[in-house]
Amino acid sequence: MTEIDWRHDRIGSAHRGQNPTVLRRLDSGFAAIGDRQFLPGYTVLLTDDPTVTRLSDLPPARRLAYLTDLERLAEAVERACARLDPAFRRVNIEILGNTDPYLHAHIWPRYDWEPADLVRMPVWLYADEECWRGERHALAPRHDALREAITAELDGLLKA
């Protein structure tokens, strides 16, 4: 399977062990590091069922499992990013679903070093195409330490 293929079937490729962004399998889905790292630590919680398009599609027990996994992943990102960058501020959590039709949640770390006009605004207002499409912020081996830090924090939270 080529790199392009996994991006067109993120959940199926995660089930097959072919999605290179997956950090860990969780109860309700997959913790994955984001393809774009202009805000280091950006992660996504993917549902494990591609037919689920919104949170309300899940029965109550699965919905609670998804939200619990989301909270754990967000805390892991928070801990790892705070340890790695003293300018870490907080995480923002969003469930949007406007582009990709399957349930997924975005976890965006926010930092004091962000531009003053954006630091208090939604991430989606970053207009620089380099953030969203350029090579400078593409997930790469240079992010391995960040991946490892988030995964270690997540593993610690899952054991607690």
Residue ranges and CATH numbers for the domains of the chain are: 3-159 (3.30.428.10)
Structure tokens at 114: 């962000």
Q: Which of 20-24, 33-37, 40-44, 94-98 has the lowest mean pLDDT?
A: 94-98
Beta strand residue intervals within the chain, DSSP E: 22-25, 29-33, 43-47, 88-94, 104-111
Tell if the pTM clears 0.85, that is, is over it: yes
Q: Is the pLDDT of residue 8 over 90?
A: no
Hey, CA dihedral for 80, 158, 32, 151, is it positive or negative? positive
Q: Is the pLDDT of residue 1 over 50?
A: no
> What would the pLDDT profile of 69-83 be if each residue is shown by its tens digit?
999 999 999 999 999
